[in-house]
A and B are shown apart, each in its own frame.
Chain A
Amino acid sequence: MSELTLLLIRLAFLAALWFFVIAAVGVIRTDLFGPRTAPAVARKPAKVAKPPSRAKKGDPRQLIVTGGPLQGTIINLTETPITIGRANDATLVLSDDYASSRHARLFPQDGQWIVEDLGSTNGTYLERSKVTRPTPVPLGVPIRIGKTVIELRK
């Protein structure tokens, strides 16, 4: 085995090692920013037909916790309702003495998200006003539940 071949093998191995790292970073990148090509919706037009309202630009896509112990948590909004409370099966589990076990619910209807208080002890607040009946949630308006503040974002 000549020196040159060994040198080439050595360099090729190091290159492969780094290529692995770069590929791993690539997978993470797709996780963070979405696939580089158009998303799955564009490739499979059959699936777009179902909810025409969802693809609209102004719709909220994420629920972000902006205050309280869970600050920074992000939940991606799909078609499913989101329950908030201390119960273990809630979508967002709060450990907050001021929250009820099934405190509030967020669900999509006709292209907007609605917040509904589920008979909690201490109430749910949309901005400053107490939520007494299902109320539409605009983008970026804080919902306060106990010590936790959440917002809808694009």
Chain B
Amino acid sequence: MSAVDGAPVPMTAKRRGAQLAMLAFAVLIVMGAYASVGLGLDGKIPSGMLTYGLGLGALMLAAYLVLAKFAPWADPLLLPLVTLVNGIGIVMIYRLEQAPMPGANATTQLMWTALGVVMFSATLIVLKDQRALQRLTYTAGFAGVILLAIPAVLPASLSEVQGAKIWIRLGQFSIQPGEFAKLALVVFFAGYLVAKRDVLALAGRRLLFIDLPRARDLGPVLITWGFAIATLILEKDLGTSLLLFGTFIAMLYIATQRTSWVLIGILLFAGGAVLAGMAFSHVEARFDAWLHADSPELYETAGFQLMQGLFAMGSGGILGTGLGQGHPNLIPLAFSDFIFPATGEELGLTGLMALLLVYALIVQRGLRTAIAARDPFSKLLAGGLSFILAWQVFIIVGGVTRLIPLTGLVTPFMSAGGSALLANWMLIAVLVRMSDAARRPPPQAIQDEGLTQVMQR
């Protein structure tokens, strides 16, 4: 591969050193955060710092070795960036566990992270070429729908936790199939849109400034829309519904470059949500808790969590109270849905902005992979997976900052929760696989063919 090593083009460099250095840096920051929590709480470095730090370091080293072996050309930044947010999440959960806050358990989260790394490695090893997923388009779509529908069909005793019917509970063990469904559905959307995008992009007529599609091409959008609204109503889960529909619209836009699809999508979803709000009390209650969270009637009940989160971020201010020195345990569920305001109290606006930038960089690497990908399916899949990550961060951060109605989505990689962590690690594995394919230099010719040679097929 001498032609590659000496190539003047930096794109094809493997950047292994940079990757390892950034990975070590991320683990060091996490260990620093851990020490800082201990110093803030009781003035001494916690005894478990080395266990946690080295545990995380060993896990990430394993992930790095798998990546270096099975996807050597992959993007150097994805793994370190994910390591940082995952590690900060564990530290925050540890901090809440020490507060003490019932339910927060950092050891479980570290264990789930280990399982996440196993899933990451397994996905990288099994999935040799992401285009194999294209053959599974309809299988993935079917699997996604089934996974999403199971909790809606199960009786509430087996599927409902705190008002959201999105779980499968088997005794002690519970998983959220929706987290895996969203991966399967993105694969389905990508495969489907590659096959249909010409008709969706070209047919139709122009009205004023936008190209309107034909009425019969609205079918897929309407079906996805109906599906999203059904999720909203049957599973009482505004978050997943918004997440899936938004992702479909974004991928439709990537595939067709037509603004009209985005407008149609927004109108459909807004209309559907308003109608659902009028017809179903639990959706209406969500909207009320958002619009009037600070009213005296709702403050003690539905708006309490939201307001506590806002107070926490307010008391954090620009620089935060410092790790271990705030009172994030006053926010209900601070270790799962509200980990972002809890982090905001202790790290302040400065820390939150850095975290948001880390998410933005992960998404940027994903979109960059989409641009560099060489076939339409990989382009759409990388674009879709990056978008769903960005969109999820937007929905939950928008929710806890009261920009949009609060929905029960997890903050990717930070919130306590096994299913989400596993699914997101798989998502990153697929992105890594695609960035490996996109950055790999073109295959070497087997022989130097002469100019006159004719290729026959």
Interface residues of A (CB under 8 A from B): 1, 5-7, 9-14, 16-18, 20-21, 23-25, 27-28, 30-31, 33-35, 39-41, 44, 47-48, 50, 54-55, 61-62, 69-70, 72-82, 88-89, 91-93, 95, 101-102, 109, 114, 116, 118-119, 134
Contact between chains at B457 and A79 (CB < 8 Å)? no
Interface string of B414-452 (1 = CB under 8 A from A): 000000000000000000000000000111110000010
Residues from chain B with a CB closer than 8 A to the CB of A88 are 131, 375
Closest B residue by C-beta to A65:
B374
Q: Which of B11-19, B94-102, B163-171, B330-338 forms contacts with chain A? A: B11-19
- A75 interface neighbour in B36, B84, B323, B374, Cβ under 8 Å: B374
Residues from chain A with a CB closer than 8 A to the CB of B33 are 13
Q: Could you tell me how many residues of chain B have their Cβ less than 8 Å away from some Cβ of chain A?
A: 65
Contact between chains at B9 and A61 (CB < 8 Å)? yes
Query: Once the chains are docked, how many angstroms separate the CA of A27 from the CA of B442?
Result: 23
- B374 interface neighbour in A55, A69, A92, Cβ under 8 Å: A92
Contact between chains at B11 and A76 (CB < 8 Å)? yes
11 contacts across the A-B interface (CB closer than 8 A): A17-B355, A18-B354, A20-B358, A21-B354, A39-B10, A41-B6, A69-B376, A76-B11, A80-B3, A89-B443, A134-B451
Contact between chains at B3 and A78 (CB < 8 Å)? yes
At the interface, yes or no: B2 with Cβ under 8 Å from chain A? Answer: yes
Q: Which of B136-144, B149-157, B172-180, B344-352 forms contacts with chain A? A: B344-352
Contact between chains at B32 and A13 (CB < 8 Å)? yes
At the interface, yes or no: B371 with Cβ under 8 Å from chain A? Answer: yes
At the interface, yes or no: B270 with Cβ under 8 Å from chain A? Answer: no
Task: Give the 6 A-B CB pairs with smallest separation, nearest first.
Answer: A93-B375, A10-B322, A47-B6, A1-B43, A76-B9, A79-B3
- B320 interface neighbour in A14, A35, A41, Cβ under 8 Å: A14
Contact between chains at B22 and A55 (CB < 8 Å)? no
Main secondary structure of the interface of B (DSSP, over half): helix
Residues from chain B with a CB closer than 8 A to the CB of A25 are 361
Minimum Cβ distance to chain A for residue B124 (Å):
20
Contact between chains at A95 and B354 (CB < 8 Å)? no
Minimum Cβ distance to chain B for residue A136 (Å):
11
Q: Which of B74-82, B271-279, B396-404 forms contacts with chain A? A: B74-82
Residues from chain B with a CB closer than 8 A to the CB of A11 are 319
- A16 interface neighbour in B4, B29, B348, B379, Cβ under 8 Å: B29
Residues from chain B with a CB closer than 8 A to the CB of A35 are 10
Main secondary structure of the interface of A (DSSP, over half): mixed
Contact between chains at A10 and B4 (CB < 8 Å)? no
Query: Once the chains are docked, how many angstroms separate the CA of A7 from the CA of B22?
Result: 26
At the interface, yes or no: B39 with Cβ under 8 Å from chain A? Answer: yes
Residues from chain B with a CB closer than 8 A to the CB of A47 are 2, 5-6
- B347 interface neighbour in A5, A14, A70, A79, Cβ under 8 Å: A14
Query: Once the chains are docked, how many angstroms separate the CA of A99 from the CA of B432?
Result: 30
| Given A1-B39, A23-B25, A47-B5, 20 other A-B residues pairs in contact with their CB atoms under 8 A | A10-B36, A10-B322, A14-B348, A16-B29, A21-B354, A23-B22, A31-B11, A40-B5, A44-B6, A47-B2, A50-B2, A62-B9, A76-B441, A78-B4, A78-B9, A78-B441, A80-B445, A88-B131, A91-B374, A91-B443
Residues from chain B with a CB closer than 8 A to the CB of A62 are 9
Contact between chains at B442 and A14 (CB < 8 Å)? no
- B357 interface neighbour in A13, A21, A61, Cβ under 8 Å: A21
Query: Once the chains are docked, how many angstroms separate the CA of A17 from the CA of B32?
Result: 10
Contact between chains at B7 and A6 (CB < 8 Å)? no
Minimum Cβ distance to chain A for residue B236 (Å):
36
Query: Once the chains are docked, how many angstroms separate the CA of A27 from the CA of B14?
Result: 12
- B323 interface neighbour in A13, A21, A82, A116, Cβ under 8 Å: A13
Minimum Cβ distance to chain A for residue B322 (Å):
4
- B10 interface neighbour in A18, A30, A114, Cβ under 8 Å: A30
**Contact A10 B361, CB 8 Å, known A18-B350, A28-B77, A72-B371:** no
**Contact A41 B10, CB 8 Å, known A13-B36, A14-B348, A27-B18:** no
Contact between chains at B194 and A80 (CB < 8 Å)? no
Minimum Cβ distance to chain A for residue B443 (Å):
7
At the interface, yes or no: B26 with Cβ under 8 Å from chain A? Answer: yes
Minimum Cβ distance to chain B for residue A9 (Å):
5
Contact between chains at B322 and A6 (CB < 8 Å)? yes
At the interface, yes or no: B207 with Cβ under 8 Å from chain A? Answer: no
Residues from chain B with a CB closer than 8 A to the CB of A41 are 6, 8
